[in-house]
Amino acid sequence: MMMTSDFKHEREFDLGGVVPWGRRLQEYAAFFALDDLAGFAPVLDAGGGPSSFAAEATKMGIAVTASDPIYRFGEGDIRRRFEQTAEAMRVGMRRAHYRFNWSYYGSEDAVHRLRREALELFLGDLETGKREGRYVPASLPALPFADGAFRLALSSHLLFLYGDDLDFDFHLAALRELMRVAEEVRIFPLVNLDGLPSSHLPGAMSVLRGEGVRTELVSVPFEFQKGATRMLKLRKY
């Protein structure tokens, strides 16, 4: 059974590790249940990649800082990596079409359109945002921010999703670091690239509870990967 599962995973999504695949603010609002984004500021988007969340929030006057190692690169390099990812994602979504709930997006083409919109909005803000400190080239589990610098830290489509590439120790260290820099942490999704519940999640929650962190699984008004309808919320007691 394990050999069949591994073969199936490679056939459907062969991404070669963590890839740049950004989301729009409206998507963040849905899968993080952010009804009042301004009330959460300042916000950290950890591992934001080419998402337009920070760019769109800034236009609304909301303080969002994004961190990602990709911010070390220029527009040309980011575009090239995005195009490579887009092709791999197109192949993967076609092969794994049955594993997604298409009610939010409607079609594969709509997903790609939103990803390209996010990319263009992000790139349009990147150089100005770097100068203003909005895009910080850094990666988990070591962030260059002061303790409690943010009211809310978000991690979208990184932790738990890439559980085959990022081991348990990485996840635990990353969650501890997010708790260091923010009062509250929200993570989505909690399934891996196979669409299965992350094997790292129960152990990480158990350890954090033992360290005085309040852990909560919260249903959200969003489902793309079937069954991925909850986020992890962490708060200090």
Question: How confident is the model at residue 88, as a pLDDT?
Answer: 87
Specify the pLDDT at position 103: 95
pLDDT of residue 163: 87
* Domains delineated in the chain: 20-236 (3.40.50.150)
Give the model's pLDDT for residue 15.
Answer: 61
Q: What is the pLDDT of residue 13?
A: 66
Which pLDDT does position 7 carry in this prediction?
35
pLDDT tens digit at each of 237 positions of the chain: 333 333 343 457 666 667 788 999 999 999 999 999 999 999 999 999 999 999 999 999 999 999 999 999 999 999 999 998 898 888 888 888 999 999 999 999 999 999 999 999 999 999 999 999 999 999 999 999 999 999 999 999 999 998 888 999 999 999 999 999 999 999 999 999 888 999 999 999 999 999 999 999 999 999 999 999 999 999 988
**Can you say whether the dihedral through the CA atoms of 237, 168, 88, 10 is positive or negative?**
negative
Q: Is the pTM of this model over 0.75?
A: yes
DSSP the chain: -HHHHHHHHHHH----S-------HHHHHHHTT-TTGGGG-SEEEET-TT-SHHHHHHHTT--EEEE-GGGGS-HHHHHHHHHHHHHHHHHHHHHTGGGB-TTTT-SHHHHHHHHHHHHHHHHHHHHHHHHTTSEE--BTTB----TT-EEEEEEESSTTTTTTTS-HHHHHHHHHHHHHHEEEEEEE--B-TTSSBPTTHHHHHHHHHHTTEEEEEEE-S--SBTT--EEEEEEE-
- Predicted confidence at residue 164, as pLDDT, reads 82
